[in-house]
Structure 1
Amino acid sequence: MKQIGTTVLFLLFLFTSAFSQNFNQTVRGVITDQDSKQPIEGATITIAGSNPLKVIVTDKDGSFRFDNMPIGRIILHVSNVGYEKIILPNIVVNSGKETVLNINMQEAVAQLEGIVLTFDKNKGQPLNDMALVSGRSISPEQTNRYAGGFNDPSRILSNFAGVTSSQDGSNDIIVRGNSPKYIQWRLEGMQITNPNHFSDQSAVGGSISALNNNLLATSDFYTGAFSAEYGDVLSGVYDVKLRQGNNEKFESTFGLGVLGTELTFEGPFKKGYKGSFLVNYRYSTISLISNLGLAEGINGALNFQDAAFKVVLPTKQAGLFSFFGLAGLSNFLFKDVSPALWQTPGSRVVPNKIGEDYDKGSHLANLGMNHTLTINKNSHINTGLSFSSEGIDDNVFENFKTSTSESNQLNFNGRLRRSTYRGEITYNNKLSSKLKLQVGSKYALLDYNFNQSMFRDSTNVRSTLVNFNENISTIRNFISFRYRFNEKLTTVFGVQNMNVLLNNKSTIEPRFSLNWELSKTSALSAGFGKHSTMESIHHYFTQVKSSDGSNIEPNKDLDLLKAHHFVLGYEKRFSQNMMVKLEAYYQDLYDLPVANSKENIFATINEGLDFQYLDLVNKGSGKNYGVELTVERFFNKNFYYLVNASVYNSTYKALDGIERNTRFNGNYLVNVLFGKDFPKLGKTQNKTISFNSRAFFGGGKKIIPLLRGADGNLAVQPANNRFYDYSKAYENNIQDIYQLTMSVSYKINKPRATHEIFLNIENVTNNRARLTEFYDPGELGAVGYMKQGGVFPNLMYRVYF
C-alpha cells in the first residue's frame, strides 16, 4: 500500500509542477433540433454574467466555440427565433479537459413577439420529451457530487423520492415497493443486462456497478406510468447515456481508488473528422495489489474488472453511426461465510456442519449499434442492434467436522447463462410545431441455459433443481403522439403492444399523460398507463411431478403480469433554483403469478435469492400506493440541498385471499442531502473544496420470522427442516434504518491537468440495523442477523489531462 501511495504522490507532483499558471479551457458544442436531429444554424449562445459579455452564433453545422474560458462554473443562455429559450446552469469548466456540449432545442408552439419561453434542461426534467410524469434527469455531476454515490450510477438512484435499496451492501433498486427484478436497464436506448458485478441468480443486486460515472452523459430515470416506447417493465426504467468522446483533441483520465483503478482515453480519429472514440478500463484495486505481491490470502476479496466504450462515426449521406459496449468479470471466494455476511443459495441445516465456503463468479457483456438517419428536416429513423450476455456460477461447499477429521463437499451448484439478441427501429416525425409522431417495433430473442443442483434436506442425494436450454422470442410495437395545444398544455398519448411468442400471450397497453402549466411558476401533471412484463424465465420451464409421478411443465402457458399505473403531480418553482414537487401514485397489479395452492403464499413478486419451482397461476393481485414530496434547491451560488420523503404501501394477495405486505414494503423513507463548494482557493484561485452529506431514514424490508412459541422463545425444528413462521410472513420488519454519509473532495486545476481527490465515508455512525434473521445455533439464543453495512471509507484520486 505504501508503494501505491508513493506512486500517487509522484503523479500529483509531476502534473502540478510541469506547467505554467494559465487556467483557461475551451467550451464548445453542437445545437440540434430535438425532433428532427438537424443542426440549427444561427442560434445565439450567451455566457451569462461575463464581462465583457461573451456571445456567439452557431455555424451551418450547429457548432459553437468559446476559447480561453476561465475555469469555474458558467451559465449558458441559448436562443433562436422560433425555438424555446434554454438556460444551462452550472456548467463546470476544468483546465484538464475540454467542456463539450450537445444541446437539443424544442420548436416553440407560439411564436409571438413579446413571449419569452424558457426551458431549463439541467433542473431535473427528463431529456425524453415523451415523458411528462414520474421521471427526472440525472447528470454526471450529480453522480459525482452526491454523498454515498461511490461514483456508482446505481447507488445514486436511492437519493430520490420513492427509491430505496436493501441496505445490505447490494445495488438493488426498489421503486415504490416493487421488486428490484422488475427494473429495466437501458444503455444508449437499448435494453441491457443488470450492469452490476456479483449479481445474484435472479439477475438483480450485485455490489459494484460496471458502469462508470466518468463515461456518463445526462440520463433519465422513470418510476411509473411510462411512455409508450417502454414495454416489458413494471417497476422503473433507468435509461443510461454515454457521453461522446472529444472529437478534436486527445484526452485521458487516470483514477486510483479503494475500489478500482481505471484509465480512460478519448479523442478524434483524424483531424477535421467529427467522429470520436471513448474507452475506459477498470481493475479491482485489491486484485491489483494482490497481483503485485503486496497482499496475500485476503479472504473474500471482491475481484472484478470492467470495460466500456463508445465510438461515434458521422457520415455525410448515410447518417450517424454509434457503437457502444459494456463488459465485466467478477469473482470471490468466501471462506466460512455465514448468512450474516452473504446469503448463499441452497443453504440447508445438517448434523456436523460447521460452515460453508462460497465460490462465485459472474460475467456480463453488452454490445450495440445505433444508427440515426435524417429523412428530411422534420423526420428521422433510429435503428438499433445489440447483443447481451450474462453468466453466473455459484458453488457452495459445506464444511463438516467429526471427532477425528474435517471435510467439505459441494452442495449447491448453479450455472446460469443468458444471451439476448435485440433489434429495433423507430420512426420520428415532427408533423408540425404542435404534433410529434413516434412509432417503433422491437424484437428480442432470449436464449437461456440453466443448470442447478443441490442436496435435498439432510440426505446426500443430489437433486437437479432445473436443467434446460431454451429460448423465447418477444415482439413489442408502439405508437406515440405528443400534442402541444399551446405553450402551457402538452399531452402524450400512445399504445404499447407486447407479444410473447413462446405461448402466444399478448397485451394492448394504452398510455396517456399531460402537463399543464398553471402559471409561470407552477404546473400540474397526470398520467395513466397499463403495463406488463414477463416473469423470470425459469418459471416457464419449471418441472413438477404430477399425480401419476411423471414430470410436467405446468407454467408454459404463464401469462404476463400486469399493472395499471395512475400518477398525479404538482410542481411549484419558487425561483429559478428552488422547486417543490408533490406526486401521488396508485398501481393496481393483477394477473400476478402465485402458487397454485391455497396453502402456499408464494408470489413471484416476492422472489428472493433461492428460486422457487412451483405450479403457478395468474390469479394473484396487489397494489402499491403512496405520496412523494421533494424539496430541491438546485446547485447555485456554490451550494444545494435536496429533501424528499415518501410514504407508501405495497401489498399482495395469493390464492388464500389474505392481503399481505410484499417483502419490499418499507412504508416510508426520507432523504436529506446538502452540499457546499468553496471555489477559487489558493494564491492562483485554482483550487476547490466540496463538502457533501446525506442522511437517510427508512423502514426495512418485511421478513418471514423464525418460528417462536407463545413465550417468544425460538421453536425451530431443524430435524424436520422447519425454521420459519409462514403464518406471520411479511407482517413486520425487524428494525427501521438510518444512515449518515459524508464526503469531501479537493480539486486542483493546473494549466493542462485537473486533479481531484474524493473521500466518501458511508454510514459514519456505524449504525448496524438488523435486516433479516436466521437460525444460527452458534449465536446467543440461536438467532443470527444479517445487518446493515457498517462504516466504509472510499478514497479515490483522479487526474484529467
Structure 2
Amino acid sequence: MKKLILILLFFLSFKMLGQTGTIRGTVTDKQSETTIPGATVAILGKESINAVTDDNGNFELKDVPIGRQTVIASFLGYENVALPEIEVTTGKDVILNIMLQESFKDLNEVVITSEKSKAKAINTMAAVSVRQFTTEEVTRYAGGRSDVARLASNFAGVSTADDSRNDIVVRGNAPTGLLWRLEGVPIPSPNHFSTLGTTGSPVSALNPNLLANSDFITSAFPAEYGNAIGGVFDLNLRKGNTQDYEFMAGIAAFPGAEFVAEGPLLRENGGSFLVAARYGFVGVLGLAGTDAQPNYRDLSFNINFGKSKIGTVSVFGIYGQSDIDFLGDEIDEDDLFAAKDTDAYFESGFYTVGLKHTIDIGENSYLRTTVGTSSSAENYEEDRYFNKDTPEETKIRYTESDNTESRITLSTVFNSKISKKFTVRSGILLERFTLDAKLSDREEQDDTDGDGYADLVPLLSNDGSYTLLQPYAQGQFRITEKLTLNAGLHGQYFSVNEQFVAEPRVSFSYAINQKSNLNIGYGLHHQNVAAPLLFLEENINGTFVQTNRDLDLVRSSHYVIGYDFRFAEKWRAKAEVYYQDIDKAAVERTPTSYSSLTEGADFVFSRDKTSLVSKGTGYNTGIELTVEKFFSKGYHALFTTSLFESKYEGSDGIERNSPFNNRYVINLLAGKEFFVGKAKKNIFSINTKFTTAGGRYYTPVDLEASRAAGYEIRDELNAYSLQYDPYLRIDLKLGMKFNSSTKKTSHQFYIDFQNITDNQNVFTRDYNRLTQNVDQIDQIGFAPDFGYRFQF
C-alpha cells in the first residue's frame, strides 16, 4: 500500500497542460479494414485543430478543449464521417478508430457526408436488429452497475426484469440462446458465480474499462455468427495508449476496488499494453441481496505488439474467480438465494486467453487468425439439516456438483474488398470442447437403502470431448447508392449427434432518402441443447445412460423488417417488426408441458428430463420502437418499448406462455450535463432511468403434493399459467467530474440511487419446506451504488 501511494504521488507531481486533452487514433477503410494514409481529421467548429494521418493511418489532435466534441474525418473518394459526443477530459487521452467508406459515386462527383452513430453496426455486414454501444454508455446510464449486460437491458427487444441476475432475454428467447464473443471468438459466460450452461449471473466479470465500441444483435445475424438463436454480444477490446502511460484507480460498490494501467509497448511498431484488475466487496455493504459474503475478483488484459513485417499480433484475456458460503444460521428468512435449513458452498472461475494475428494481403484484403483457450468451472456442495433445532437434528450431504468445461478455439477469417461495390468475407471456426461434469442429488429420489433419507443419486457424469465446426461465407454488394445486399451461408457441425446444417442469411438495406432507411432480414439459425440437459443420465436397468445425446440442434427462423427515421438533428426513431419460428426443441416422450425452451433463467437446469425427443416448437413475435436523442447540447434521451408474445408447445401439444413472456417492456432514460466552476472545466451530471415490464409467467406450486412429498412440486398441467405483478423501477444517478487545470489528471464521483421508490418487485413464489407454505420473496429494494475514479 505504501508503494502504491508513492507511485500515485510521483505521477501527480508532473505539471502538464490543463483544460485541454488529446485525441489520437487510426483511420481505416470500412470494407477492407486497411489503414488510410493522408486522411484529414479535425474538430468540428474548431477546424484549426486538425491532423493528417501518417503512412500507418495514425493521427493525433492536441490541445482539444475538454467536454463533448465532434470529430470529423475525410479523404478523397470517401464519404465524410462525423463522430459526435466524444468526451475529452484532462485525465486520459481519447483513442479512436475511425472507419471511412468509399463513395459509391465517381471521384469527380460530390462526396456525401454521413454521421456515424450507434444506429450503425461496427460489423459492416450487420444491417438489421443491431445496436452499437459504447463503454461510455455503460458508466453513464443510471442503474447499470458498470455491467454491459445490464446496459443491454435498455435496448428495444431486451427484457431483464430481475435485479438479482443479469441474464439477457432477447425477444422472448431463453438467455441460453445468447452468444458471447470476444475479439471474434466465442467465450464462456463472462460472469462471476456462473454455472454450467447459463449465460448470466448476479455480477459481471467484464471490465468496461477495457472494452471498445461493440455490437449487440438481436436477430437475423450475419453468416459469421453461429450456435445461437437468441442474440449476439460481439465485444471488442480497445488498445492501450501508444504514446503515454496512463492509470486509473477507483472504488465502487459493485465493481469494487479497481486499477487500470496502459501505455506504449514497442514504440517503433505502435504497440501498447492495457491491463486492469478488480476486487469486489459488495457483500460488506449489504447490497448483494443475501446475508452471505460474496467474494469475487477479475483480471483483464490486451497486449498489442503493433504492426511489423509479419503483421499485427496481440494477446488478450480475462480471468475471474468467485466464491460464497450460505450458512443457514447466518441468513435471513427472506434471503434471495438460500434457506435456513441449508449450508451451501459455491465457487466458480473462468478464463479466456487468445492470440490474434492479422496480416494484410495486398492493398484491400486481410487474413485474421485467432487461437484461444478458455475454461469455466464451478463447484457446489449443499448440506441439508433434517429435524433442525431438535435433539434428532441430522446433517447430510444433499447435493454435489463439480463441473469444468474447457475449449480450444481456432478462428480464421479472410476479408477482401473486391471493389467499392463488393466485399467478401469467409472463414472457419473450430471449437474443441472438453467437459468434466458430475452431479449427484437427493431431490425427488427414492430411499432404496432404507435409512430414512432419499438416496444421493448420480444424475450427470461426463468426461469426454466433442467438436463444433462452423464454416461460413458472406458478401456485401452495394447494388446502387441506396440499395445494399448482405448475403451469406453458415454451416454448423456438432460431433455429439453428428449433425451438419446449412443456414442461409440475407438482408437488404434501402436508403429511401437521406433521413430514412428500410431494412429487411432473414436468417436460419441452430443451437445445440445445453450441456446440463444433453448429458443427463438415466438409470436403465441399473445402468446409467445418457439418453439425450442424440437430440437434434434446435432450429430457429428469423424474419424482421425495420424502418429507421432521423426526423431531426441528433434525433432518431426506429421501428422493427419480427417473427421467430422455433422447432426441434427438446420435449418429453409422453405428453407433458416441458420444453427445453423454458430452461436457462436460473442457476440450475432441470435434473429429471431424460429420454427427450426433438419435437418441441415455439415462436416469438413482436414490435419494437426506439426514439433516441444522441448526446448534444448537454443532454441525451432514450425511449424504447417492446410489445411481444413468446409461446411454446411441449409434447402435450398445448400452446403456453413462455416464462420469458413479459408481453411488454418500457424504458425511458435521460441525462443532462452542466459545466460548473469559474473556468467551466468541471462537469456535473444527472441521469435517470424508468423501467417497467409485464411480470413473468410462472407455474403454480401444487401445495398439497408438496406437503406430502416434503419438497416443491409444481402444477405442470397448468405450467406458466400465472403471472407475477408488473415490474417497475426508477433509478437516479448524480455525478461530478473534476478536470485539473495544471496536471493530466481528473476525478470522478457518482452516487446511483437504484429503485428510489423502493418498489417491491416479486422475485419468486416458492414452496417453503420449513413453513410448508408458498412464500413470496421480493427482489432487492432501494439500493444505493456509489463510486470514485482517479485518472492520471
Query: TM-score, with normalisation over the residues of structure 2?
Result: 0.93
Hey, what's the Cα distance between the residues in 2 that align with 1:631 and 1:286?
A: 34
Name the residue aligned to 1:428.
415
Shift of 1:550: 4.2
CA spacing shift, 1:48–1:697, aligned 2, 3 Å: same
Hey, what's the Cα distance between the residues in 1 that align with 2:605 and 2:776?
A: 18
On the 8 A contact 1:449/1:468 being kept in 2, the answer is: yes
CA spacing shift, 1:126–1:550, aligned 2, 3 Å: same
Shift of 1:417: 0.4
1:331 and 2:327 correspond? no
27-36 or 478-487: bigger deviation? 27-36
Name the residue aligned to 1:393.
379
1:95 and 2:94 correspond? no
Alignment partner for residue 776 of structure 2, among 780, 785, 800?
A: 785
Name the residue aligned to 2:344.
358
Structure 2 residues without counterparts, runs of 5 or longer: 445-451
CA spacing shift, 1:362–1:287, aligned 2, 3 Å: same
Hey, what's the Cα distance between the residues in 2 that align with 1:378 and 1:413?
A: 55
On the 8 A contact 1:220/1:239 being kept in 2, the answer is: yes
Name the residue aligned to 2:448.
none
Percent identity over the alignment? 33
Structure 1 residues without counterparts, runs of 5 or longer: 291-297, 348-353, 709-713
Name the residue aligned to 2:447.
none
Name the residue aligned to 1:451.
438
- Could you give the per-residue CA deviations for residues 345-379 of structure 1, whole angstroms, max 9, x where no partner exists? xx9xxxxxx51122110001000111111010111
Alignment partner for residue 787 of structure 2, among 778, 796, 799?
A: 796
1:630 and 2:622 correspond? no
- Could you give the per-residue CA deviations for residues 52-71 of structure 1, whole angstroms, max 9, x where no partner exists? 73333222221222222221
Amino acid aligned to 2:687: N
Name the residue aligned to 1:617.
613
CA spacing shift, 1:539–1:288, aligned 2, 3 Å: closer
459-468 or 414-423: bigger deviation? 459-468
Alignment partner for residue 227 of structure 1, among 216, 222, 227?
A: 222
Alignment partner for residue 475 of structure 1, among 445, 459, 469?
A: 469
1:439 and 2:430 correspond? no
31-40 or 746-755: bigger deviation? 31-40
Hey, what's the Cα distance between the residues in 2 that align with 1:702 and 1:631?
A: 28
Alignment partner for residue 79 of structure 1, among 74, 82, 94?
A: 74
1:761 and 2:753 correspond? yes
CA spacing shift, 1:266–1:655, aligned 2, 3 Å: same
**Superposition pairs of residues 43-54 of structure 1, within 5 angstroms:** 43-50=39-46, 53-54=48-49
- Could you give the per-residue CA deviations for residues 674-700 of structure 1, whole angstroms, max 9, x where no partner exists? 100002x11222210110010001012
Hey, what's the Cα distance between the residues in 1 that align with 2:389 and 2:103?
A: 80
Amino acid aligned to 1:362: S
Name the residue aligned to 1:350.
none
- Could you give the per-residue CA deviations for residues 743-765 of structure 1, whole angstroms, max 9, x where no partner exists? 11100001210110121121111
Hey, what's the Cα distance between the residues in 1 that align with 2:767 and 2:142?
A: 35
Shift of 1:572: 0.6
Amino acid aligned to 2:439: Q
Amino acid aligned to 1:552: V
1:731 and 2:721 correspond? yes
Alignment partner for residue 660 of structure 2, among 658, 661, 664?
A: 664
1:487 and 2:491 correspond? no
Shift of 1:122: 3.0
Name the residue aligned to 2:274.
278
Shift of 1:38: 2.4
Hey, what's the Cα distance between the residues in 1 that align with 2:157 and 2:560?
A: 13
Shift of 1:20: 7.5
Shift of 1:539: 2.9
On the 8 A contact 1:357/1:396 being kept in 2, the answer is: yes
Shift of 1:119: 3.1
29-38 or 746-755: bigger deviation? 29-38
Alignment partner for residue 742 of structure 1, among 732, 735, 743?
A: 732
333-342 or 552-561: bigger deviation? 333-342
Name the residue aligned to 1:368.
354
1:775 and 2:761 correspond? no
Hey, what's the Cα distance between the residues in 1 that align with 2:543 and 2:682?
A: 73
Amino acid aligned to 1:31: V
- Could you give the per-residue CA deviations for residues 417-470 of structure 1, whole angstroms, max 9, x where no partner exists? 000111011111111110101111111101101111122447242111111201
74-83 or 32-41: bigger deviation? 32-41
Name the residue aligned to 1:592.
585
Hey, what's the Cα distance between the residues in 1 that align with 2:770 and 2:547?
A: 41
Hey, what's the Cα distance between the residues in 2 that align with 1:288 and 1:771?
A: 22
Amino acid aligned to 1:729: A
748-757 or 204-213: bigger deviation? 204-213
Query: Secondary structure of 1:656's match?
Result: coil
Hey, what's the Cα distance between the residues in 1 that align with 2:281 and 2:774?
A: 35
Name the residue aligned to 1:711.
none
Alignment partner for residue 37 of structure 1, among 21, 29, 33?
A: 33
**Superposition pairs of residues 203-214 of structure 1, within 5 angstroms:** 203-214=198-209
CA spacing shift, 1:463–1:389, aligned 2, 3 Å: same
Name the residue aligned to 1:136.
131
Query: Secondary structure of 2:361's match?
Result: strand
Shift of 1:279: 0.4
Amino acid aligned to 2:775: G
Hey, what's the Cα distance between the residues in 1 that align with 2:56 and 2:486?
A: 31
Name the residue aligned to 1:465.
459
Shift of 1:272: 3.7
1:603 and 2:590 correspond? no
Hey, what's the Cα distance between the residues in 1 that align with 2:476 and 2:707?
A: 61
On the 8 A contact 1:23/1:749 being kept in 2, the answer is: yes
Hey, what's the Cα distance between the residues in 2 that align with 1:439 and 1:575?
A: 38
Query: TM-score, with normalisation over the residues of structure 1?
Result: 0.92
Shift of 1:622: 0.6
Amino acid aligned to 2:466: I
Shift of 1:204: 2.6
Hey, what's the Cα distance between the residues in 2 that align with 1:534 and 1:339?
A: 38
Hey, what's the Cα distance between the residues in 2 that align with 1:403 and 1:79?
A: 79
On the 8 A contact 2:353/2:374 being kept in 1, the answer is: yes
Amino acid aligned to 2:750: F
1:310 and 2:275 correspond? no
Name the residue aligned to 2:449.
none
Hey, what's the Cα distance between the residues in 2 that align with 1:633 and 1:468?
A: 51
Hey, what's the Cα distance between the residues in 2 that align with 1:287 and 1:604?
A: 33
Shift of 1:193: 0.7
- Could you give the per-residue CA deviations for residues 185-227 of structure 1, whole angstroms, max 9, x where no partner exists? 1111111010010113433321111111111110100000000
On the 8 A contact 2:341/2:385 being kept in 1, the answer is: yes
On the 8 A contact 1:606/1:662 being kept in 2, the answer is: no
Hey, what's the Cα distance between the residues in 2 that align with 1:657 and 1:106?
A: 51
Name the residue aligned to 2:638.
642
**Superposition pairs of residues 278-297 of structure 1, within 5 angstroms:** 278-285=274-281
Amino acid aligned to 1:73: R
Query: Secondary structure of 1:664's match?
Result: coil
Shift of 1:72: 1.4
CA spacing shift, 1:740–1:642, aligned 2, 3 Å: same
On the 8 A contact 1:417/1:448 being kept in 2, the answer is: yes
Hey, what's the Cα distance between the residues in 2 that align with 1:602 and 1:512?
A: 29
Shift of 1:120: 2.4
Amino acid aligned to 2:430: Y
Name the residue aligned to 2:647.
651
On the 8 A contact 2:508/2:521 being kept in 1, the answer is: yes
Shift of 1:99: 1.4
Name the residue aligned to 1:295.
none
On the 8 A contact 2:272/2:304 being kept in 1, the answer is: yes
Hey, what's the Cα distance between the residues in 1 that align with 2:241 and 2:711?
A: 61
Hey, what's the Cα distance between the residues in 2 that align with 1:771 and 1:285?
A: 23
Shift of 1:600: 5.2
**Superposition pairs of residues 54-203 of structure 1, within 5 angstroms:** 54-111=49-106, 113-203=108-198
Hey, what's the Cα distance between the residues in 2 that align with 1:432 and 1:249?
A: 38
- Could you give the per-residue CA deviations for residues 509-557 of structure 1, whole angstroms, max 9, x where no partner exists? 00000110001101100000100011112333332234x5544332222
Query: Secondary structure of 1:143's match?
Result: helix
Hey, what's the Cα distance between the residues in 1 that align with 2:150 and 2:712?
A: 36
Hey, what's the Cα distance between the residues in 2 that align with 1:483 and 1:262?
A: 45
1:419 and 2:403 correspond? no
Name the residue aligned to 2:558.
565
Hey, what's the Cα distance between the residues in 1 that align with 2:352 and 2:68?
A: 35
